[in-house]
Chains A and B, each alone.
Chain A
Amino acid sequence: MFNRNNSHSQWKALPLLVLGVLLLTGIAYGLWSETLLIDGTVYTGEVYGKWTSCICNDDGLDPLPNPWPYTYPIPTRKDVGKTTCTIDEKDPRILHLTIENGYPSYWGNCEVHFANTGTVPVIIRGYSVMPKNFTLATANGAENGEIWVKYWDGIGTQMEPCPDESCEQASSIQFHVEQPAKENYSYKFDVYVCIAQWNESATLEQCLAAAPKD
């Protein structure tokens, strides 16, 4: 049995005991050794593209396809419809294409440019036209939808990061208002162009699924 005084003196001895153990431990681990380190930092790159320009061919008088694809005579051009396109000021990955006062057979073509402004080389995996509130016609002049929209570009083309000369691509977006289109109606659609890192094969669907949604 410890009396109160003995117990006190044991507590006083505890720090000395700890020091002794640490000292012994220190000796055990202090034996001749050396350490080398590998210190690594990985800065990841980025896949990023943005629209750089857009010019539409409605310069006043409504444009007509050239060559004229129909059997009836080429009509006299009039200034009726209007097409404008602008790059979104906040998110240059979005391009706004607006057609005003469209009417059946109103047609237009816009030349759009986009650039690889990321750090990783990319391949254009494809594009997708997504109508929001109408049925997409399957061809220019087909009457199985209200609007025909077609995007042309170099699917499969590799684009190096800017400022490489291959960093920018010119593409074309064409549209045609078809006969089933309603009057005084606003048709909305999105066109997605999907680019992905150059070294991993991906379908358009895989590319779109992996793309950021914001």
Chain B
Amino acid sequence: MNKRLPLGLLAILLIVLLAGVGVAYGLWSETLTIDGTVNTGEVNVKFGTITKSEKVQINFAPPVDEPKEKAEAANCEYTIKGAGTDGETLVITTTGAYPSWHCIVEFDVVSTGSVPVHVYTPQKISGPTWKDLKITDCKKVKLAQGVEAFEDNVCEGVECPPTQWWQLHKDDALRCKLTIHFTNDDKVDENATYTFVYKIEARQWNEPR
């Protein structure tokens, strides 16, 4: 015996059942919504104030300012390449360098991002092994106060340990001194070209190396 319900009736029955369920759950209810927006911060550092000076040792005495009449013999220039990008580069070029002549470049690494950073001691990743090609005197400077306030001067006159870092908040800076100098003991050739690269790493403050 075949007592199947007609298909049309079955469809109507299903619709009625679903409507009934809908009514049952739709009554007296309320929805709360959490609408979230995450605006991320930024880790950003750049080169700030840069100054350079040229000095010379005369008969191995302490360096003095280069005499005017000797100023054209050797020169030191700098420029910034890729400003505002990761890998912003301070390009320093010296010409006519000779033993006991010094180029000293003082530079600021400024934190301009919203996330505090740890800036680590600049690391030489390539270049000659001259005893006096070095970055020294790194110290933190608070620039936002209108006047420069120095602190954490832990490397006066010497290279800082590679693991040393300084925590910079926005507008804080790390000021360091790069010295480019070679002596006769460094066996530097005349009319030659030497290149070097220093890397300065800034990482978000809460995740150390």
Which residues on A are within 8 Å of B, measured CB to CB?
31-48, 118-121, 160-161, 197-201, 210
Q: Which residues of A sit under 8 angstroms from B45, Cβ to Cβ?
A: 34, 36
A36 touches B57 (CB 8 A): no
Are A38 and B90 interface neighbours, CB within 8 A? yes
| Shortest Cβ distance from residue B45 to the other chain A in the assembled complex, whole angstroms | 5
In the bound complex, CA of A197 to CA of B81 (Å)? 34
Known A35-B202, A38-B200: A43·B96 in contact at CB below 8 Å:
yes
Give chain A nearest CB distance to B28 CB in angstroms.
47
B190 A46 Cβ-Cβ under 8 A: yes
Q: Please, how many angstroms separate the alpha-carbon atoms of A132 and B66 in the complex?
A: 42
Asked if A42 meets B97 with Cβ closer than 8 Å, knowing A35-B86, A119-B73, the reply is yes
Q: Which residues of B contact A160 (CB under 8 A)?
A: 69-70, 73
The total number of A-B Cβ pairs within 8 Å is 160
**Chain B residues proximal to chain A, CB less than 8 Å:** 43-47, 56-60, 69-70, 72-74, 81, 86-101, 107, 109, 113, 115, 117, 122, 127, 178, 180, 182, 184, 188-204, 207
Distance between Cα atoms of A80 and B193 in the complex (Å):
54
A198 to B101, CA, bound (A): 11
Task: Report the separation of the CA atoms of residues A12 and B65 in the bound assembly, to the nearest whole angstrom.
Answer: 68
Task: Let me know if B195 and A40 touch, CB within 8 A.
Answer: yes
* Chain A hits for B204, CB < 8 A: 31-33
Contacts of B184 in A (CB 8 A): 200, 210
Whether the pair B202, A38 counts as a contact (CB closer than 8 A) is no
Most chain B CB atoms below 10 A, which of A37, A47, A160: A37
Q: Is the CB of B98 within 8 A of A120?
A: yes
Contact in complex: A37, B98 (CB < 8 Å):
no
Judge whether A37 and B127 touch: CB under 8 Å. Answer: no
A35 in contact with B90 (CB, 8 Å): no
Residue pair A45, B87 in contact (C-beta under 8 Å)? no
Give the contacting residue for A42; candidates B56, B117, B194; CB below 8 A. B194
CB distance from A134 to the nearest CB of B (A): 35
Contact A36-B202, Cβ < 8 Å, known A42-B195, A45-B98: yes
Inter-subunit contact B115/A197 (CB<8 Å): no
A119 to B57, CA, bound (A): 17
Residues in B neighbouring A118, C-beta threshold 8 A:
190
Known: A31-B204, A35-B87, A199-B56. A41 touches B193 (CB 8 A): yes
Docked-complex contact A40 and B196, CB < 8 angstroms: yes
Q: A199 touches which one: B59, B86, B195 (CB < 8 A)?
A: B59
6 tightest Cβ-Cβ pairs between the two chains A and B: A45-B96, A38-B198, A33-B203, A32-B43, A36-B200, A37-B89
Kindly report which residue of chain A lies nearest to residue B40, judged by CB atoms.
A32
Chain B residues whose C-beta falls within 8 Å of the C-beta of A35 in the assembled complex: 86-87, 199-202
> Given A42-B194, A43-B193, A45-B97, is A33 in contact with B180 using a C-beta cutoff of 8 Å?
no
- Cβ of A161: which chain B residues have Cβ within 8 Å of it? 72-73
A39 near B92: Cβ-Cβ < 8 Å: yes
Task: Compute how far the CA of A210 lies from the CA of B99 in the bound complex, rounded to whole angstroms.
Answer: 13
Q: How far is the CB of A158 from chain B (nearest CB, A)?
A: 9
